[in-house]
Structure 1
Amino acid sequence: MADPAPAAQRRWRASCPNCGAPVEFASAASSTAVCGFCRSTLLRDGDTLARIGQSAEIFEDYSPLQLGATGRWMGSGFAVVGRVQRGSDLGNWNEWHLLFEASGQTRVAWLSEDNGQFVLSLEAPLTDAPPREPQVGLPLTLAGQRWQVAAVVDAALRAAEGELPRVPRTGRVVELRNDRDEVGSLEFREDGPPVWSVGRGVKLADLALQGLRTTAEGESVAEAKFKGRSIACPSCGAPLAPKLAQSKSMACAQCQAIVDLPEGDAKALGFIAQPPGLDPLIPLGRTGTLALAGEKPLAWQVVGYQERCDIPEDADDEQSFWREYLLYNRLAGFAFLVDTREGWSLVRTLTGAPSQGRGGVTWQGRSYRQRWVYGAKTTHVLGEFYWPVRLDDRVQVTDFASPDGQHLLSREKQGPEVTWSGGQTLPAAAVQKAFGLKAPAAQFARDASAFKSSGGTLLRNILIGLLLIVLLFALLRACSRDDCQRYKDSFGENSAEYQQCRSSTRSGYSGSSSGGSYGGYSSGGGGHK
């Protein structure tokens, strides 16, 4: 039988030396706390409580967690007793301090945000010497395991609250991932040795959580607060009303400028002008029910939309364009619905990292063949995002697919971070039904067969494909109809695909693209989120 949420075995209480308010410690592992009244950071030394600084106000976000929430994990009960908010140039994230006291043992544990997902980690002693200069994307061995370096960031301290195992500091964080779906984190500190922790991805729905932040309507308190807040667009003056409190940027519905959102009630930080684009096939705010393989169907709300393209290595190469919808579920985090020429796919970020192999990678017992390696950039943005989105954001992408073409992986590198994401293809009809869409069927009928790995017949398929392209080009030129009618039917007359095809035929060239991400995205955020 699972242990109940931990009851206090012994509590230590004192008055805040700054304001006199009561400060209580429920965990023997907690050496510091933040006064809930005056925000003073307090250090506990035996029976003495000393004020050593002041913490900033916590910036409320999308997380339904809050201090005092309880749950169960691996048969043991826990309580949420503290929180640290950290950040870097790529975004901000929360680390929630959990109190486990099963069987009289005290463990330092964290429930952290990780690229829109959640990771539960336990701190552990580290006998190995940590790497001096870890390189992002390269392997290393630590604590007897083989890892890949996923991020190296200078993590700033934004704010803190509740009980914490040590005084929170600004410092460098190295994030590691492996093929066992584990996340390792090294936090380098000036006042002591590095702090080492190892964790795995978890779903909030599986933690039997109670005491979450909710309103009478069942939505998070942070979301409800933000619905009543308005910021003036610095480009046109129209009101901006973010729906998710953690959003770092959003597009103005009036002028479509991309606006940097502030923390708190400050004015908008700045904006990037962008010309109006096509309306997405799936409207922002629409909710649909979709399921990843082996998981229960979930209700996903569209909160963001971006258009992206590959960056050709040669001026004569044709570009590939695709669209990504950012989906949000309160307990599951974020996912991406990706629309490419080759089909639709539903993907999420991975907490681990695949193992490298010859010509591909292996993840959770399934082999994936490498398909494309290319640069990609963002060309149009709508809605809200949990990382700072910019026009012309550039990443390096490597795409993989399983032999049957049903399962997909994508690796993206941007600055100090490598992000893996994975998922599966979806029938166009399933997407149309899930979101109740009435658009012409031709706009959803993408051919996903091109995802299939060709294995040993790659050269033969390439030759056949080239021959078919030549024959198709000759037939199209001989016909009186629009050479690019298929792009017009599928993507619309004003789409990037159709306009590029028209430009290519006018110049006497028509190529076939090899790019097109089907799972990657610029995640933003820092290490151990």
Structure 2
Amino acid sequence: MSQQASTQRRWSAACPNCGATVEFASAASAGAVCSFCRSSLLREGSALRKIGLSAELLADYSPLQLGSSGRFAGAPFSIVGRLQLSYSGGSWNEWHALFDSGDANRSAWLSEDNGQFVLSFDAPLSEPVPQSHELVLGDLLVLVGQSWRISALTLARVQAAQGELARPPNLQAEFLVAELRNAQDEVGSLDFSDGEQAQWSLGRPVRFEDLAMHGLREGKDAAIAAKTLACPSCGAALTPRLANSKSISCGQCHAVVDISQGVGTDLAFYAQQNGLAPQIPLGAVGKLALSAGSAASAALPWQVVGYQERCDLPAAGSDDEQTFWREYLLFNQLEGFAFLVDTEEGWSLVRPLTGSPQGSGDKVDWQGQSFKKRWTYAAKVTYVLGEFYWQVKREQRALVSDYEARSGKAGALLSREQAGDEITWSFGRKLDASEVVKAFKLDGTQGAALTRDASSLSSTGGSTRWVRNLALAMFALFFLLMLVKSCGGGGDDCQAYKDSYGEASAEYAQCKRSGGPRIYPGGGSYSGGSYGGSGSGGGGGGHK
């Protein structure tokens, strides 16, 4: 901040609880938390009134801290406050950013969304908003002249607060945060922490690197948090490498450890059976372009930081074969996260969207392209390795719908995943196995394992090709048996609806009456495999 602007806006008063001086960078801020006694304070004229007591902040891996500064759209800002919110899937931060623009009222919230950052600005609503209990996940809602899809409904609680805030935090009760997304790649939030009078904010994704942040907690490299924890299962050292990791698997015992509550807490975990080794090893770096064609020259380095095996859940009594696939979680410091997906139909590269495609039924539109639904199915995770930006739960389940482009770029894909009270969309493209082999510089044996067409693996003599094909067939059989063992069979074929809506819900009852959740738009057989990365807890309400 410039000295002149800071002098014009700065204000201070004594904490009514402990007497310490509480500094305000903006005279327009409505409240603050005393850094000495943690009292939550409300401004009333030239005095402060205590309205509650904030709990201790959970130690986490965020690179941000009070005093960090950056620039957005050419305007400098500083981080002056923080809300730490908790929900059933963990916790997330909302950082209060104050702009040095000559407008004492201009502030924003910097938060995480599906492994990316979103910068949101509070805005007034001139139209009535449905009450919190009237909102339905997936419904269309028209606000501020735009159409929005309700993508997440999250019951949250302010875990702790710090510094200067635009409005006093609700430290007493749980409240609903409704997340809305639109076709302009924007995310809106309806915060009901003040009761049924919702606070509206509108945000867009921002690249952390573009914010030119300074004064970060972890130093220059904000993406690496390099802290060591003890595995609660076997005691081996765990070293999260990503600032926003919420789950990590133990390299020794393969237990999946929840680190979403931060450092210094009792770490929850679950044991898992061994799966297969990833065909692309963790830590490997490969150059891939998010778009095909002319954008291929803009290939970026992506590092494999996570790996998961998934399977679909065919309806009981169905003749459909169970299918299995692999997903590699990729990370790039500028672009965030993407998924490299290996299915029976080949490879795809996708990343979560901030916005939401528009449409209904079997057809949706995204950025000028039309997509048609191919199938809908229930899926679950059977095995994971590495780190993840969401809280990984045992046998996470999701209801998945996959779409292919009907117009525009050939090979474009969309995937919609619903897990609990959250919907995540992903967008990407198909790619050939040879592109994956080249990107990660895999040798002949590794490359052969990635290729679906065994007859094209070698141009040498028949005996060599036969040996390679036999080896591939044996590998495929072993992989199938391992995944069948982990996926299992039977069970409730409507479990995804039961998990999402509850056993007494109309959705679950309807699924049971119809004999299962399988949908085959336009007929044809199902060959399985999610296009998109797992949306199970990967982002959602409150810009987690």
Alignment of 1:275-424 (within 5 A): 275-293=273-291, 294=295, 296-313=298-315, 314-356=317-359, 359-403=362-406, 405-424=410-429
Aligned counterpart, 1:462: none
Secondary structure, counterpart of 2:192 in structure 1: strand
Secondary structure, counterpart of 1:156 in structure 2: strand
**CA shift at 1:110, angstroms?**
1.4
Q: TM-score, with normalisation over the residues of structure 2?
A: 0.79
Alignment of 1:249 onto 2:247: yes
Secondary structure, counterpart of 2:9 in structure 1: coil
Alpha-carbon RMSD: 3.0
**CA shift at 1:112, angstroms?**
1.9
Instruction: Tell me if structure 2 keeps the 8 A contact 1:62–1:220.
Output: no
Write out per-residue CA displacement over residues 461-510 of structure 1, whole angstroms, 9 at most, x where no aligned residue.
xxxxxxxxxxxxxxxxxxxx89x959637x64521279879xxxxxxxxx
Q: TM-score, with normalisation over the residues of structure 1?
A: 0.81
Alignment of 1:124-523 (within 5 A): 124-132=123-131, 133-169=134-170, 170-190=174-194, 193-215=197-219, 218-220=220-222, 223-224=225-226, 226=227, 229-234=228-233, 236-244=234-242, 246-261=244-259, 262-269=261-268, 271-293=269-291, 294=295, 296-313=298-315, 314-356=317-359, 359-403=362-406, 405-438=410-443, 439-446=445-452, 488=473, 492-496=476-480, 513-523=526-536
Instruction: Tell me if structure 2 keeps the 8 A contact 1:233–1:252.
Output: no
* Equivalent residue letter for 2:357: P
* Equivalent residue letter for 1:390: K
Instruction: Tell me if structure 1 keeps the 8 A contact 2:117–2:208.
Output: yes
Closer, same or farther: CA 105–268 of 1 in aligned 2, 3 Å: closer
**CA shift at 1:180, angstroms?**
1.5
Closer, same or farther: CA 61–282 of 1 in aligned 2, 3 Å: farther
Write out per-residue CA displacement over residues 296-355 of structure 1, whole angstroms, 9 at most, x where no aligned residue.
544333222110011112443212211111223344332222122222222211111011
Aligned counterpart, 1:457: none
Aligned counterpart, 1:36: 35
* Equivalent residue letter for 1:292: L
Alignment of 1:48-87 (within 5 A): 48-87=47-86
Moved more, 397-406 or 147-156: 397-406
Moved more, 240-249 or 367-376: 240-249
Instruction: Tell me if structure 1 keeps the 8 A contact 2:95–2:111.
Output: yes
**CA shift at 1:67, angstroms?**
2.4
Aligned counterpart, 1:123: 122
Instruction: Tell me if structure 1 keeps the 8 A contact 2:12–2:21.
Output: yes
**CA shift at 1:109, angstroms?**
1.7
**CA shift at 1:223, angstroms?**
0.6
* Equivalent residue letter for 2:141: L
Closer, same or farther: CA 237–335 of 1 in aligned 2, 3 Å: same
Secondary structure, counterpart of 1:263 in structure 2: coil
Instruction: Tell me if structure 1 keeps the 8 A contact 2:154–2:542.
Output: no
Structure-2 separation of matches of 1:276 and 1:23? 54
Write out per-residue CA displacement over residues 19-40 of structure 1, whole angstroms, 9 at most, x where no aligned residue.
4443211123311122334433
Closer, same or farther: CA 98–71 of 1 in aligned 2, 3 Å: same
**CA shift at 1:515, angstroms?**
1.4
Closer, same or farther: CA 5–233 of 1 in aligned 2, 3 Å: farther
**CA shift at 1:371, angstroms?**
1.4
Structure-2 separation of matches of 1:487 and 1:92? 44
Aligned counterpart, 1:469: none
Write out per-residue CA displacement over residues 230-258 of structure 1, whole angstroms, 9 at most, x where no aligned residue.
22333x44343333454333222222222
Secondary structure, counterpart of 2:197 in structure 1: strand
Structure-2 separation of matches of 1:291 and 1:73? 26
**CA shift at 1:117, angstroms?**
1.5
Moved more, 334-343 or 18-27: 18-27
**CA shift at 1:413, angstroms?**
0.8
Structure-1 separation of matches of 2:382 and 2:527? 19
Secondary structure, counterpart of 1:431 in structure 2: helix
* Equivalent residue letter for 2:205: G
Instruction: Tell me if structure 1 keeps the 8 A contact 2:302–2:330.
Output: yes
Structure-2 separation of matches of 1:273 and 1:172? 32
Instruction: Tell me if structure 2 keeps the 8 A contact 1:90–1:526.
Output: no
* Equivalent residue letter for 1:206: D
Instruction: Tell me if structure 1 keeps the 8 A contact 2:418–2:536.
Output: no
Write out per-residue CA displacement over residues 424-447 of structure 1, whole angstroms, 9 at most, x where no aligned residue.
223323323333333432222247
Secondary structure, counterpart of 2:438 in structure 1: helix
Closer, same or farther: CA 322–84 of 1 in aligned 2, 3 Å: same
Secondary structure, counterpart of 1:247 in structure 2: coil
Structure-2 separation of matches of 1:335 and 1:427? 17
* Equivalent residue letter for 2:33: V
**CA shift at 1:135, angstroms?**
0.7
Secondary structure, counterpart of 2:225 in structure 1: helix
Alignment of 1:527 onto 2:532: no
Secondary structure, counterpart of 1:274 in structure 2: coil
Closer, same or farther: CA 390–191 of 1 in aligned 2, 3 Å: closer
Which runs of no fewer than 5 residues in structure 2 stay unpaired? 454-465, 486-523
Closer, same or farther: CA 127–326 of 1 in aligned 2, 3 Å: same
Instruction: Tell me if structure 2 keeps the 8 A contact 1:213–1:221.
Output: no
Closer, same or farther: CA 486–395 of 1 in aligned 2, 3 Å: farther
Structure-2 separation of matches of 1:395 and 1:129? 33
**CA shift at 1:182, angstroms?**
1.6
Which runs of no fewer than 5 residues in structure 1 stay unpaired? 448-480, 502-510
Structure-1 separation of matches of 2:286 and 2:34? 42
**CA shift at 1:279, angstroms?**
0.6
Structure-2 separation of matches of 1:206 and 1:497? 46
**CA shift at 1:381, angstroms?**
1.2
